[in-house]
A and B are shown apart, each in its own frame.
Chain A
């Protein structure tokens, strides 16, 4: 194991500008951020501070205006749309506030959807999707339609979908925003579980009580990182030795070992 862990995400001096001229406004301002494998990062901050923009840029749905973005060590800020789509398909799993399941597809078809763009055959797709759903104890609802299930169940299906192609990183945009506290709890337990299995999660939330699940909490303000705190919520993760970078304080040794 090398001493220096390869970060999954490295943002350097990243800016995102919307509008031109007088209407110009920076959603992200020279933002630096490094996320290591196995971290569970929560991004908080007031509305309009650029949380979702950050998530979209990380998720390659949007492009930064300037700055550098390394995903798994490769510079991706200027790749073609086609390549962006492939990277999304291979490395990124999305979880949305409003679940974003396709209403005309069954649960299992929704979960299998990302595999379509990986070129899997239908049988193989459904097999893989079924296995993932089993992990979420939803295997009895494989052929339910999304509208036949509760919000919490829908979100768990969406999490299953995000996991189905083994992404390097899972991006969650207020996954509990549309759920009651009980469902929120269940969903957060699921996220905690997949994090414990070694997945890297970046989650945007407004709910401060959820930060107990995170290994690192970032507060954003006006497109910049205000505070970046390593929490001790996850006792399994030992506190990493001091890194040269000031803003990155956590280093999950366990999963780093797994990956290197």
Chain B
């Protein structure tokens, strides 16, 4: 039996070689579909990794508290991530919650995020600019660094403002703007700092920090009567304190919210899980589309195998006459279709990763190489080879030896 296996393998390779161009074209059909899937999976994998690294990377000791309705959409419906923080008609979080959280032990910093839209007046005017109301702990909890000046602080005037890098460019055509004045609703704010340009396109705050201005929460609450806290970022003293602190936050907030679970406490990978789920969903839909091209490729394999079977009718007759049984013939042709689709799968892996890493060099993130994808690709190609090789192989096996021997072409 083992000898037969080797014989089938070498037989399949012989036949691949003897019809080289035809075989390669057929394998290419599989390779294209496979390549697309590999490309999609590696890209979405890279993207997910990037998102995760935003929260679990160097400082994974972050907890995020967000308002959340009772329906638990965060668990099931990935579309909930499209609800940005501003979508909530009424955030359930308040500035009092921040105070509650700050009192919990092991918490080194907690910062609110409350976004309002205001017209900003600098050298140039900007309508409906985003203003984030927060406190001095934000840089610590959101990994922000300053290009110039300093961030908001308790010792500074309440009328201080910090600009995101791009916003500074917009208002003043420069990032060297410390000491300039920005007017919001007629109130003058002194620019005390400008953030460094950020290179993370996606972060867990749902805000592009390059495009916003930061002011003190209390001041913002004075200016905008309906200001709401959309998120509270919490930084812990160390990573091991996360589980304890999470449950403490949960317990204390539940108490102050009178038992209503209208918030979520997220840590580690969970912070990005809803976003990751969205990417997973998109990747699986795209893969499904690419899967259609795999079916087309599989039909190509079937087609060429049917041609091959009919071309070799006489050979089948001879093999049967010298002692091959139906099973031998069946397996022989199955191995051929398997080889075709495996070659296609391997080519697809190479193409897919080559393209992904080529394109990745022009993108803000690197595609992810994973053995899982390699495994999936190989398993899928074997499956395609088997499924689409079955009909031709069965047809070959069922051929009548006498008719086959009489067959001339």
Chain A positions near chain B (C-beta within 8 angstroms) = 56, 59, 61-62, 81-82, 84-86, 88-90, 94, 96, 100-102, 104, 113-114, 116-122, 161, 165
Contacts and interface: CB of A to CB of B under 8 A. Distances in A.
A67 to B, nearest CB: 18
Interface pairs A-B: 7 shortest CB-CB? A89-B323, A85-B325, A114-B322, A117-B323, A94-B321, A61-B401, A88-B323
Nearest to A81: B326
Contacts of A85: 320, 323-326, 328
A92 B256 CA distance: 92
A104 B18 CA distance: 8
5 contacts: A86-B325, A116-B3, A117-B323, A122-B6, A122-B10
Contacts of A84: 325
Interface string B1-44: 10110110010001100100000000000000000000000000
Interface string B171-194: 000000000000000000000000
B321 A100 contact: yes
A118 B321 contact: no
B325 A117 contact: yes
Place the interface of chain B in its size category: 20 to 34
Contacts of B326: 81-82, 85
Interface string B310-327: 000011011111111111
Interface of B: 1, 3-4, 6-7, 10, 14-15, 18, 314-315, 317-328, 401-402, 405
A113 B319 CA distance: 8
Contacts of B3: 116, 119-122
Contacts of B15: 104
A90 B401 contact: no
A125 to B, nearest CB: 8
B323 A100 contact: no
B328 A117 contact: yes
A104 B325 CA distance: 21
A135 to B, nearest CB: 18
A96 B323 contact: no
B393 to A, nearest CB: 16
A100 B318 contact: yes
Name which of B6, B10, B317, B321 has the most chain A CB atoms within 10 A of its CB.
Answer: B321
A119 B257 CA distance: 78
A258 to B, nearest CB: 25
Contacts of B327: 82
A250 to B, nearest CB: 27
A223 B327 CA distance: 33
